[in-house]
Amino acid sequence: MGFQMGGGYKRLALGTAAAAWTGFLLMANAAAAGSATMAAPAAPVEWVSATAASPAAPAPPAPAGRSGRVVYEDWMAVESPNGNYHFRFSVNIQIDGHFFIHDPEEALTSTFLLRRARPQFFGRFYRMIEFRLQPDFGQGQARLFDAWVNFRLLSWLNIRFGKTLSAFGLERFQPGTVMMFIERGFPSSIAPNRDIGVTAFGPIGGGWLEYWLAFGNGAVDNGNTDFSFDDKWEGSGRLLLKPFAAFPPLGGHDLAIGAAATYGEPEAAIHNGKVADASLAGYISPAQNNVFSWLNSGDAAGTTLASGRRMRLGLHAHYYGGPVGFMAEGYEVSHRIRRGGAAMHITNRAWQAQIQCVLTGERPQFRGLRPRRRFDPARGTWGALDVHLRIHEMDIDPRVFPVFADRNRSIDSSFGMAGGLTWTLNRFVRLMADYSWAGFSGGARNGDRPDENVVLTRLQLTF
């Protein structure tokens, strides 16, 4: 059934407060029980292969006469003795299952899929020049996600050239290997993904403030751009305040509060009356189904096109302390669009709040969760187990109907909830299961698109 939206940001505030209070109680209870204490990760071990019997085993001495060394932590790396040259290779494989429940119209397909298959090459030389190359062969296609060269000029200044993450979304900055959920929430649908250009970034004041400033081609919502069809550019910036970083006694608590913005003036590319690139993107559901699209007739007169100003604004925050992790973000994107002789500025919005609690006592971090004891039934150790919950919402500007989009095919809003379990067997393997529900307003000839009920599963190997 459909339902009325509105008051999204009020729900975000209430959801954020409730989840934060729940997280505080869980953290306090765990701290009182002594379960929040965890040993620091082991330092990299030299000359130990990935098949070592135990990560805690003592490192044998480096063989005499070797001109380099092998360093093992979460990957295998080759490094020169003086550290001037460093190269590592890693692999991320995610095998997913999408199983739809209560689909009376049989419009959705339950399937297994190779969600991500990403080799990654990283190198550093002279301790200040770095590069990364990361393609993706998942979902039956080949796509380049990262290809950049980074100069570490000062402790607070990095200059990066090439294709990299856009300086905007918070959940987008979490690697796909460590996200709380199998799929990202609605805010990532209206945030850019990757862009090509130049980025300056770094920590200030010992890490209590982090900044990103970028200038590039510009990317559509959820877009992974490879080139630009016009000669327009887009600037973006992001600030992240980490107040606890300046106070060592609070070093076990990671609180971050940030804001981000992008601004550009994209124009659709038209050649001989045909649309080469509309510079607009549709939106997807939590299970990656298309739920909103702009009208597109193939010719310039009947297609909705980008026509000038595009501005995004957003606020986000996360907190990690004890066995609890929490994240919230809310974004809006304003476009100037046109179709035929009609034109207007429209604004779409999305927000989410999600919380994670580790049941086995480990301390989650923004960059992931490491089990205190790896899965080994012979020794009676089982890895780490966490539960997670999410609420999220997306609202489309109702003025886009019917001139720029068709309400019979595109939703005007969606609200969703999800929950799940993640079993982290060791540093390299995770098993995940999420249940996601999303309700829609509009998007069908009889009124509202049917609710989406789906069980998502994942087997992940990252090495």
What's the pLDDT at 143? Answer: 95
Task: Please check whether residue 313 is in contact with residue 331, taking contact to mean a CB–CB distance below 8 angstroms.
Answer: yes
Q: Are 218 and 233 in contact (CB under 8 A)?
A: yes
In a domain, 43, yes or no: no
| Rounded mean pLDDT for each run of 10 residues along the chain, 463 residues in total | 44 46 41 37 35 39 57 76 91 97 86 97 96 96 96 97 96 94 97 97 93 96 88 94 83 91 94 89 95 94 94 98 97 96 96 98 94 96 98 98 96 98 96 98 93 97 93
Pairing assessment for the beta strands 447-448 and 129-136 based on DSSP bridges: unpaired
Residue whose structure tokens are 């509060």? 257
CA 287 vs. chain centroid, Å, equals 15
What are the DSSP calls for 174-232, one per residue? S-TTT-SSSS--THHHHS--EEEEEEEEEEEGGGTEEEEEEEES---TT-B-S--SSS-
Q: Return the pLDDT at 75.
A: 67
Quickly tell me which residue has 């994209």 as its tokens.
Answer: 266
Burial (CB count <10 Å: 0-12, 13-18, 19+), residue 55: middle
Give the chain's domain count: 1
DSSP 410: S
Structural domain includes residue 45: no
- pLDDT recorded at residue 73: 61
**202 and 154 Cβ atoms separated by less than 8 Å:** yes
CA distance 452 to 289: 10
Query: Does any domain span residue 331?
Result: yes
Instruction: Indicate which CATH number applies to the domain containing 80.
Output: 2.40.160.10
Instruction: Give the pLDDT of residue 67.
Output: 60
pLDDT at residue 446, rounded to an integer: 83
What is the token pair recorded at 241? 């305040």
- What is the C-alpha to C-alpha distance for residues 219 and 194, in angstroms, rounded to an integer? 7
Residue 180 belongs to some domain of the structure: yes
In a domain, 267, yes or no: yes
What pLDDT is recorded for position 231?
Answer: 84
Range of the domain at 280: 8-33+71-462
| Sequential DSSP letters for 357-399 | EETTS---BTTB---SS--BGGGTB--EEEEEEEEEEEE--GG
Residue 44 belongs to a domain:
no
Considering the domain boundaries, does residue 60 fall inside one?
no
Predicted pLDDT at 17: 46
> CA 296 → CA 190, 395, 414, distances in Å?
20, 21, 22
* 329 within domain boundaries: yes
